[in-house]
Amino acid sequence: MMFTEVEELYTRDAGRKITLLGSLILLLIGIGLVATATGAAGISIADVCRVIIGKVLPGLHAVPSSDLAEIVVIELRLPRILLAALTGVSLAGAGVVMQGILRNPLVCPYTLGLSSGAAFGAALAIILGTGILGTSFNIVGRYLIVTNAFIFGSLTMIFVYGVARLKGAVPETLLLAGVAFGYLFQAGVSSLKYISEHEALKELVIWLMGGFWGANWDTILILFPVVLICLGLLIRYAWDLNALGAGEDVAMSLGVNVGRLRLVTLALATLVSSGTIAFTGIIGFIGLIAPHICRILIGGDNRFLIPCACLTGGILLLLADTLARTVLAPVEIPVGIVTSLIGAPFFIYLLLKRKR
């Protein structure tokens, strides 16, 4: 009888969590439609839906009220909305997994030094006009910045993990190594700023602030499969992450290879976050805020926590980008500034709560 009662409680709780996830999906879609309709050129949500349906299901002959609506939605706004959602999903998903791996609530791609490494790679391409292989900046243009940012962001985590392995790869060593490499790459970025010319410095500063100005369908086609595959694989490790949350000894007694779990999940989280940062620049705090909000909403079970954090990250970044585009229109605020203004007070709150 006791087992039956526990099973009923578990089923009821799982049903509530699935309902919450479904609600977040609908909310993300709704905010995406509103964000697509919002901007200097006023377009109704109905027209946005007609344009999207007309492209996805051309047989339905859903025709918008004007040709301008189709151009604005398909060519300008929809790629940006999708990139913002993908970025929020990937950063939040990477953040919640990194926090689970290191069992530290204040860990995210930013605090582990990944963002600083990506910034250094982008700075090399912008300031020196050269990539890691010495390619001329004029030949590959924007994609050299993307490639450098991705490579150096990934290398940062390789360096961090390599240093930590020398000391046993314990969570504290991984975190401290990430902070140390973060400061090292920040110093490199500052040095490149110091020697840069005016135009290159301006371009670098804009990249470091983060934004979705360069959003296009090519970017979406590159990022979508990467984000989908990496996050799908991370969700497969949810049970192992739950076991690790109870302690390394408990996880090993349940048959979890803790070393391999850390290596694989950290590699996947690094790949998905480096990929998006390379295209968008530095966007802080999403990977920190979303996991904590979701722990309050849905609990610590990673089977539900990871998808909940991904959806919440997408929602938060969509809202931040919409504010960045509209609050001082026609002037556009870099979205990294908006997320920092929201995230910094929340980070301080976490520190105070943790101390108390």
Q: Each residue of 16-53: pLDDT tens digit?
A: 899 999 999 999 999 999 999 887 777 888 888 888 88
Look at residue 94 and tell me whether its pLDDT is greater than 90.
Answer: yes
pLDDT(135) > 60: no
Is residue 136 domain-shared with residue 269, that is, in the same domain?
A: yes
Phi, psi dihedrals of residue 130, rounded to the nearest 5°: -145, 145
pLDDT mean across residues, the chain: 84
Q: 2 with 109, same domain?
A: no
The token pair at 43 is 């377009």
Same domain, 196 and 235: yes
Domain count, the chain: 2
The per-residue pLDDT for 160 is 86
Residue 4 pLDDT class (50, 70, 90 cuts): low
Q: What percent of the chain has pLDDT over 70?
A: 88
Q: What is the pLDDT of residue 124?
A: 87
Residue-level pLDDT at 319 = 93
Residue 75 within any structural domain of the chain: no
What would the mean pLDDT of 216-227 be, rounded to a whole number?
A: 92
Please check whether residue 337 lies inside any domain of the structure: yes
Decide if pLDDT at 202 tops 90.
no
What pLDDT, on a 0 to 100 scale, did the predictor assign at position 137? 41
Neighbours of 324 (CB within 10 A): 23
Closest by Cα among 150, 156, 149 to 112? 156
Q: Mean per-residue pLDDT for 246-252?
A: 85
Does the pLDDT value for residue 5 go beyond 60? Answer: no
88 and 52 share one domain? no
Q: Is the pLDDT of residue 224 over 90?
A: yes
Local confidence band at 105 (pLDDT 50, 70, 90 cut-offs): confident
The residue from 12, 37, 67 where one domain ends is: 67
Residues 42, 87 within the same domain? no
Q: Does 100 score more than 50 pLDDT?
A: yes
Mean pLDDT of 284-288: 87
Q: What residues contact 326, with CB distance under 8 A and at least 6 apart?
A: 38, 39
What is the reported pLDDT for 65?
67
The residue out of 67, 99, 125 marking a domain boundary is: 67
pLDDT digits (tens, 9 = 90+) for 108-131: 888 888 889 999 998 888 887 654
pLDDT at 92: 94
Together in a domain, 88 and 62: no
**Looking at the structure, do residues 146 and 8 belong to the same domain, yes or no?**
no
Across 20-29, 42-51, 243-252, 342-351, least confident range = 342-351
172 touches 155 (CB < 8 A): no
What is the CB-side half-sphere exposure of residue 19 using CA atoms within 13 A? 6
Q: Are 297 and 287 in contact (CB under 8 A)?
A: no
pLDDT greater than 70 at residue 290: yes
Of 42, 67, 92, the residue at which a domain comes to its end is 67
Q: What's the rounded mean pLDDT across residues 143-148?
A: 84
**Helices assigned H by DSSP within the chain:** 2-37, 45-56, 67-71, 78-102, 114-123, 137-140, 142-166, 171-195, 198-209, 217-236, 238-245, 248-253, 258-280, 286-298, 302-326, 335-355
What does the pLDDT read at residue 39? 79
SS3 103: coil
Do residues 202 and 288 both lie within one domain? yes
Residues 108 and 189 in one domain: yes
pLDDT attached to residue 2: 52
What local confidence, expressed as pLDDT, does residue 172 receive? 78
Q: In the predicted model, what is the mean pLDDT of residues 215-239?
A: 92
- Residue % of the chain over a pLDDT of 90: 32
**Structural domain for 210, as ranges:** 80-355
166 and 301 co-located in one domain: yes
Q: Decide: 283 and 277 in contact? Cβ < 8 Å.
A: yes
Same domain, 183 and 246: yes
So what's the pLDDT on residue 198? 76
pTM recorded for the entire structure: 0.88
Residue 60 has pLDDT above 90, yes or no: no
Contact 54, 60 (CB under 8 A): yes
Judge whether 46 lies within some domain: yes
Per-residue pLDDT at 354 exceeds 70 = no
- Say if residue 57 is in the same domain as residue 132: no
| Structural domain includes residue 222 | yes
Residue 156 lies in a domain: yes
Whether 345 is covered by a domain: the verdict is yes
> Does any domain span residue 73?
no
Q: Is residue 214, in this structure, part of any structural domain at all?
A: yes
